[in-house]
């Protein structure tokens, strides 16, 4: 019989939709949620810290981790690698914690196969126009990359049906409140409750 385990919450959505900001605000307000820090080969942006937003690794280091099957999912995007290390997520779930994963849509697809019971939340922008403005406002990408990301966003909106919830990022605080509610509601869901009761 499987042990009672924590809950995996996956926050995903198009690049620039604000999922990073939402997750940071959510974590700042929720001491009981663990964040799964990803590994990336992209450059560290101003204000980012090793081990907080990402573990920054070289391509060689990343490829070694792939070889050693240390990732739940990994992907190449705009010439860089991004991956979710297995160890941290597995340990937090074993400790019956709620683990938050902020990953792109391809990554979410891979995680869904491994954790079908996870809570998959898709963040959508109020409009693509606003998404474009946000990407430009961030000022960390070239115009070419912004265009690539926008094209990808349109395609990714078709993936919504693979998710459990959709949260519009009109206002950060409203989006954070909705995600908190989703987590609370999921903990009350009969499926999880009966599983917990059965395992105790």
Chain residues in the site for a second copy (CB under 8 A): 121-122, 160-161, 163-167, 177-178, 180-182, 184-186, 188-190, 193-194
- Cα separations in angstroms, 4 against 1, 41, 100: 9, 35, 18
Cβ 181 to a second copy, closest distance in Å? 4
Nearer to a second copy (CB atom), residue 32 or residue 144:
32
Cβ 157 to a second copy shortest distance, Å: 11
CB of 93 to a second copy, least distance (A): 21
Question: Dihedral of the CA atoms 31, 180, 12, 54 (nearest 10)?
Answer: -10
C-alpha torsion 150→155→157→163, nearest 10: -130
* CB < 8 Å & 24+ apart, contacts of 23-29: 23/100, 23/102, 25/172, 25/173, 25/176, 26/100, 26/176, 26/179, 26/180, 27/100, 29/176, 29/180
Q: Please count the residues of the chain.
A: 200
In the complex with a second copy, the residue whose CB is nearer, 78 or 182, is 182
Name the residue nearer to a second copy (CB basis): 110 or 164. Answer: 164
Nearer to a second copy, 31 or 188 (CB): 188
Q: To the nearest whole angstrom, how small is the minimum distance from the Cβ of residue 12 to a second copy?
A: 13
Nearer to a second copy, 27 or 157 (CB): 157
Nearest to 11 by CA among 117, 103, 149: 103
Least separation in angstroms between CB 112 and a second copy = 13
């Amino acid at each position: 019989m499987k042990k009672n385990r924590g809950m995996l919450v996956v926050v995903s959505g198009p690049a620039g939709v604000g999922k990073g900001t939402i997750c940071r605000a959510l974590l700042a307000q929720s001491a009981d949620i663990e964040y799964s820090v990803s590994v990336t080969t992209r450059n560290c942006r101003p204000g980012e810290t090793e081990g907080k937003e990402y573990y920054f690794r070289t391509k060689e280091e990343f490829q070694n981790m792939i070889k050693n099957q240390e990732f739940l999912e990994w992907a190449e995007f705009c010439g860089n690698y991004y991956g979710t290390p297995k160890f941290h997520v597995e340990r937090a779930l074993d400790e019956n914690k709620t683990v938050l994963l902020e990953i792109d849509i391809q990554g979410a697809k891979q995680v869904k196969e491994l954790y079908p019971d996870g809570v998959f939340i898709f963040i959508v922008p109020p409009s693509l126009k606003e998404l474009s403005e946000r990407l430009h406002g961030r000022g960390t990408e070239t115009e070419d990359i912004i265009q690539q990301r926008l094209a990808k966003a349109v395609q990714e909106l078709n993936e919504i049906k693979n998710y459990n919830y959709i949260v519009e990022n009109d206002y950060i605080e409203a989006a954070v409140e909705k995600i908190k509610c989703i987590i609370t509601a999921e903990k009350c869901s009969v499926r999880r409750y009966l599983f917990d009761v059965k395992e105790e």
